[in-house]
Amino acid sequence: MSPQFVDFDGNGLTDILAGTFSGSPWISIGTTKGWSKPEQILDQNGKRIVLNQFWNYQTEKWDSTNRCDDPHLQLENGHCTSAFAIDFDQDGDFDLLLGDYDTGQLFLRRNGGTAKKPAFGTINERLSAGSEPIDVGKMATMRVLDWNGDGHSDLLIGSMGDTYGQGPGGAVLLFPGSPRRGDNGDMAFDAPVTLIAAEGKSGQNPKRPDAGLYADAADHDGDGDLDLVVGGYSMWTPNGRELTTAEQQKVAILGERKAELMKQIQKLGKRLQQAVEGLGENEAKTKRKEVLKAQSKMRRELSSKLRDCTAQLNELVPSPQRKSFVWFYENITTAATTGGQR
C-alpha cells in the first residue's frame, strides 16, 4: 500500500489515497480535525473499483469478477494493489491509475464527472508506453512526476520481482512522458528506461532492496536533483565459519529438534483440516475457530520453540535471510546547480 497525499476532493485539505491488497483504491478524506476513516472510491454507478481479484468483505473470501474488463482485450486475471490520482486527460479532474500486482500492467479509470463530483468509468482502460502495453512483471506501485523536467509527466514504477525465491528481483523503471498526447489530451509514455536494475540476490549482507520495490522521488539531500527512496526486501546469506566438533554436534541436535517441531506444527494443521472436512461453510467456520482456540496455547509454544531453535542454528550455520528496509539512492549524476530544501 503506497500512500499518495493529494487534495482529492479539492477542498484545500490534503487527503490520503492508496490502493490496497484488498483489490481497490481507498481514500482517507482530510478534515480540519484530522484524517477520516478510509473509504473505498466507487465508480459512477456506486460499484467497487477493481481489476479482477478482490477481497469480498461480505463473504470474507477472495473473489473475482470480469465486469470491469475491456471487452476488446484478452486479459489475464488482475489484482489492483496500487492507485494514484492524476489528471490523465487534462480535463481538470482527477482520474485514477490502477496498478496490477499480478500482471504488472497499468490501467486507467477515467473521471467523467468533475473535480468536486467525480464519476469514475466502469471499465479498466489498459495503458501503453510506445506501442506496447506497460508491463513490469509484477507491479509494486507507481508515481507520476516530471523526472527530466521537460514538461511532460513521467511514470515511475517499482516492480516486485521474485519476492521469495532466487529468481530475478524487482526494479525501478521510468516511462518518460511523451509530447505526443492523445487527441483527447491523454498522457502518453515512451518505452521505459531502467533507473534501478534487478540484480542477483547473493551477498553476505543486505546491500540493496532486492524484491518488492516501492519507490518515490524527491530532492532528498537538497542538492538540486531528484533522488529515490525505495522500500523493499533484502535477501542475503551471512558468511559461515568453521565449526568445532562440539558445535557440529550441536548443529545436528538442533537440526533434529527443528525437524521435530515442524512435524508437530504440521500435525496441528492436519488435525484442523480433518476437523472441518465435509462440514458446511458456516459449520466449518465455527469449527475452525473452535479448534484454533483449543490449539492456540500449543501453537504459541511450538512457534516460540521453533524461533529459538532457528535462531541458535542461524548463529552456527547462517541461513538465507529476508528482511524489509527503506533505502536511499542518492542521485550523483550531476553536481548541484541550485539549492533545494531538505
Partner 1 sequence: MNPGLSRTLTLTATCTLFGATLAAQDLNPTFAKPVRLEAGGKLLGAGRLYPSPVYRDMNGDGHLDIVVGDLRGLLTYALREPGTDEFRAEAKVMDLDGRDLDFNNW
Report if residue 15 touches partner 1, rule: CB under 8 A: yes
Choosing from 103, 129, 176, 254, the residue that interacts with partner 1 (CB under 8 A) is: 176
Distance CA 228, CA 154 (A): 15
Residues 127-156 that bind partner 1 (CB under 8 A): 140-141, 143-153
Residues 152-171 that bind partner 1 (CB under 8 A): 152-153
C-alpha distance from residue 250 to each of 107, 240, 297, 308 (Å): 54, 15, 28, 14
| Region binding partner 1 by CB under 8 A among candidate stretches 64-72, 218-226, 247-255, 313-321 | 218-226
| Region binding partner 1 by CB under 8 A among candidate stretches 20-28, 120-128, 257-265, 285-293 | 20-28
| Region binding partner 1 by CB under 8 A among candidate stretches 29-37, 118-126, 253-261, 287-295 | 29-37
Supply angle C-alpha 332, 337, 339, rounded to 5: 95
Q: What is the dihedral of CA 10, 222, 156, 5, to 10 degrees?
A: -20
Choosing from 78, 129, 209, 235, the residue that interacts with partner 1 (CB under 8 A) is: 209
Q: Which is nearer to partner 1, 146 or 315 (CB)?
A: 146
Report if residue 45 touches partner 1, rule: CB under 8 A: no
DSSP code of residue 182: -
Query: Residues touching partner 1: how many (CB under 8 A)?
Result: 90
43 and 108 in contact (C-beta within 8 Å)?
no
Q: What is the DSSP string of 120-137?
A: B-SSPEEPEETTEE---S
Residues 62-81 that bind partner 1 (CB under 8 A): none
Write the burial class of residue 105 (CB in 10 Å: 0-12 exposed, 13-18 middle, 19+ buried): buried
Report if residue 109 touches partner 1, rule: CB under 8 A: no
Distance CA 13, CA 2 (A): 19
Provide the minimum distance between the beta carbon of 193 and partner 1 in the complex, in angstroms, as a whole number.
5
Report if residue 52 touches partner 1, rule: CB under 8 A: no
Distance CA 172, CA 154 (A): 13
47 and 34 in contact (C-beta within 8 Å)?
no
Q: Which is nearer to partner 1, 69 or 216 (CB)?
A: 216
Choosing from 75, 85, 217, 313, the residue that interacts with partner 1 (CB under 8 A) is: 217
Report if residue 188 touches partner 1, rule: CB under 8 A: no
Distance CA 182, CA 77 (A): 28
Report if residue 26 touches partner 1, rule: CB under 8 A: yes
Provide the minimum distance between the beta carbon of 279 and partner 1 in the complex, in angstroms, as a whole number.
24
Choosing from 75, 173, 174, 261, the residue that interacts with partner 1 (CB under 8 A) is: 174
Distance CA 200, CA 210 (A): 8
List residues bridging with 73 in a β-sheet.
Answer: none
Provide the mask over 294-333, with x wherever binding to partner 1 is found by CB under 8 A and - wherever it is not. -----------------------------xxxxxxxxxxx
Provide the minimum distance between the beta carbon of 29 and partner 1 in the complex, in angstroms, as a whole number.
8
Residues 232-261 that bind partner 1 (CB under 8 A): 232-233
String of b and e for 280-299 (b: at least 16 CB within 10 Å)?
A: eeeeeeebeeebeeebeeeb
List residues bridging with 177 in a β-sheet.
Answer: 189
Report if residue 5 touches partner 1, rule: CB under 8 A: yes
